[in-house]
Structure 1
Amino acid sequence: MKLKKYDDETLKHIHNVELMILKDLISFCDENNLTYFMYAGSLLGTIRHEGFIPWDDDLDVVMLRDEFEKFKKLFLASPNQKYELLTNEAEKDYFYFFAKLSLKNTHFEEKWSSQLDFDMGFNIDIFVLDDLAENKYKRFYQLKKAYLYNRLLIMSKIRLDDLPFISKLITHSMYHILNILKLNPSKLTKKCLNFLKKYSDANSKNVFDISATAKEYPLIYDKDDFKDVIQVKFEDIYVNVPKNYDKILTELYGDYMQLPPEEDRYNHPIDIIDFGKY
């Protein structure tokens, strides 16, 4: 996948719009006593840059499953003129296990978005951490099946044409097979969530992110690492980060305070950008 750089003015505009969305998300969480954490590259940006990674163009937060389900229920219960929450409950063809808080009447879409039946506006990714089984055999099965669901979900909706020939052939074939079997994103997500509920355990020592895969497994964390919240500066506000952020970032990125080489500072390949009135 070929990545690109934005001009400085466009990237600054992107950051300003996404920061507005983050502020509104934080206000909603504060009003409803919900806990979120900055996550992945956005957690790295918070700690290393006190804001956005200068060349990055997205924002990620994460919630534990119980908090996310409360958030989703509350948000979807009241119509919102400014935002929509993209989930499988809201859009039957939505093909991620994480949600997106999407700004209405804007567009921030990759070229495969033409295959979708809904618009993808400027958004924040909201990832979810699920309990991981304690028994090593159940854990092995849970992780393998979760990884499979994650791959099938994407292949059930999106055909990527810029893959190597064999990978393209496999993904296109799976797309057609899944559609013949009528296993659309909504059905696959429901099956997966029912599967995950079987392993839900408040006493679990570990949680995992089904959406983020490292090699062949989803990312795994100690649950206690997301127990305590501290506030850290992000641009002109303060945001929630896990108290054990150093451990989390080290596991994700190694020496995370070290900047990557100049040639590796790229963005996502966004093809359609429309800021609307923002």
Structure 2
Amino acid sequence: MVNLREEMYAGLDQIQDKEFDVFTALLNIFNKNKLRYFVTGGTVLGANFYQNFIPYDDDIDVALVREDYNKFIEILYHELPEEYRVQHYTLNSDFKYTIVRVENTSIDITEVSDPDQKISHPSIDIAPLDGTPSGNISRKFFFARLLILRGVLTGCYANSINMNKDRSVKDKVLIHSLKIGGRIFKLIVNPTKVKQRIDKILSRHSFDSSPLIGTYMGAYRSKG
């Protein structure tokens, strides 16, 4: 097991190597099937300034055009080696995100900030690239709907939010409130249906004809 408490020393290189193995396998599938993909976020910065990972980073950010993203989920993920596990809510209803996660199960890691010390694996998240409405008003409505649904999902999974991470006072108060209501959310809301609704909204606007495209369920939301 690699503990992330050690990652800045011996473990980080190993985690990066395992993630790069996953990345290589994904690129083989993407290129073989002519899928349109992009690296995003910190991966772009690392490639530009270091020709590698950012030295302290331990993830690779990938995005697929929605049409190709759906193809990958539906069938192409089967082409990955057996030690790579694909997580998506359509494959595992307990998976709480709307993106695809590809895990390299050959090593285990634990995150220091996780009080439960749950075991995870080096992984790559694949986000869909989606379009937006063309008008300013309809675009604002589009993002507002996504924000509301995202809030509902957060409520469903509030009890799993890691409070040890560095957050603003405002965020901490909000999360504590969500944790109190989290059990009620689970009783009245089906998170899988919420994720399906989010994907339906995001899929309405073509990548090729939209004025703006992005990964809108990521950390940067509408700025993505």
Q: Kindly tell me the number of residue pairs found equivalent between the two proteins.
A: 213
Query: How far does residue 71 in structure 1 lie from its aligned partner after superposition?
Result: 1.7
Paired residue secondary structure (2:218): strand
Partner of 1:173: 180
Q: TM-score, normalising length from structure 1?
A: 0.67
User: How far 1:137 moved relative to its partner?
Assistant: 1.6
Q: 1:113 to 1:18 in 2, by over 3 A?
A: farther
User: Mean Cα displacement is larger for which, 55-64 or 78-87?
Assistant: 78-87
Question: Shift of residue 45 of structure 1?
Answer: 0.4
Match of 2:189 in 1: 182
Equivalent residue letter for 1:149 = L
1:97 counterpart residue number: 98
CA 1:113 to 1:73, structure 2 compared with 1: closer, same or farther past 3 Å? Answer: farther
Gaps of 5+ in 2: none
Deviation at 1:89, TM superposition (A): 0.5
Instruction: Give the corresponding residue for 1:129.
Output: 129
2:197 maps to: 191
Aligned in 2, Cα 1:200/1:115: closer, same or farther, shift over 3 Å?
farther
Q: 1:132, 1:199 within 8 Å by CA — same for their partners in 2?
A: yes
**Greater percentage in strand:** 1
Tell me if structure 2 keeps the 8 A contact 1:147–1:210: no
| Structure 1 unmatched ranges of 5 or more | 221-278
Does the CA contact (< 8 Å) of 1:212 and 1:219 recur in 2? no
Q: Do 2:66 and 2:207's aligned partners in 1 also have CA atoms closer than 8 Å?
A: no
Going from structure 1 to structure 2, the CA distance change for 1:201 and 1:94 (only over 3 Å counts) comes to: same
Q: Give the drift of 1:219.
A: 2.2
Cα distance in structure 2, aligned partners of 1:179 and 1:115 = 24
Q: Per the alignment, do residues 17 and 107 of structure 1 end up closer, same or farther by CA in structure 2, a change over 3 Å counting?
A: same
Q: Aligned partners of 2:101 and 2:215: how far apart in 1? A: 15
Map of 1:157 onto structure 2: 157
CA distance in structure 2 between the partners assigned to 1:71 and 1:149 by the alignment: 24
User: Are the equivalent residues in 1 in contact too, given 2:69–2:128 (CA < 8 A)?
Assistant: yes
Aligned residues with identical type, % of pairs = 19
What amino acid does structure 1 have at the position aligned with 2:66?
R
Structure 2 length-normalised TM: 0.82
Alignment match, 2:214: 208
Secondary structure at the counterpart of residue 63 of structure 1: strand
For residues 5-64 of structure 1, give each alpha carbon's deviation from its aligned partner in whole angstroms, at most 9, with x where no partner exists.
733221111111111111111111122121211110011101111010011111111112
Q: Does the CA contact (< 8 Å) of 1:63 and 1:129 recur in 2? A: yes
Q: Secondary structure at the match of 2:103?
A: strand
Alpha-carbon distance change, 109 to 90 in structure 1, aligned in 2, over 3 angstroms: farther
The 1-side partners of 2:213 and 2:48 are apart by 22
How far apart, CA to CA, are the structure 2 residues paired with 1:178 and 1:34?
Answer: 37
> What CA RMSD, in Å, does the superposition of the two structures yield over aligned residues?
2.8
Q: 1:115 to 1:76 in 2, by over 3 A?
A: farther
Q: Counterparts of 1:23-172 in structure 2 under 5 Å? A: 23-76=24-77, 80-110=81-111, 120-159=120-159, 160=161, 161-162=163-164, 166-172=173-179
State the Cα deviation string for residues 129-160 of structure 1 (Å, max 9, x = none): 11100122211111111122223323312423
Distance 2:115 2:76 in 1: 25
Of 214, 218, 228, which aligns to 2:222?
218
Higher share of residues assigned helix: 2
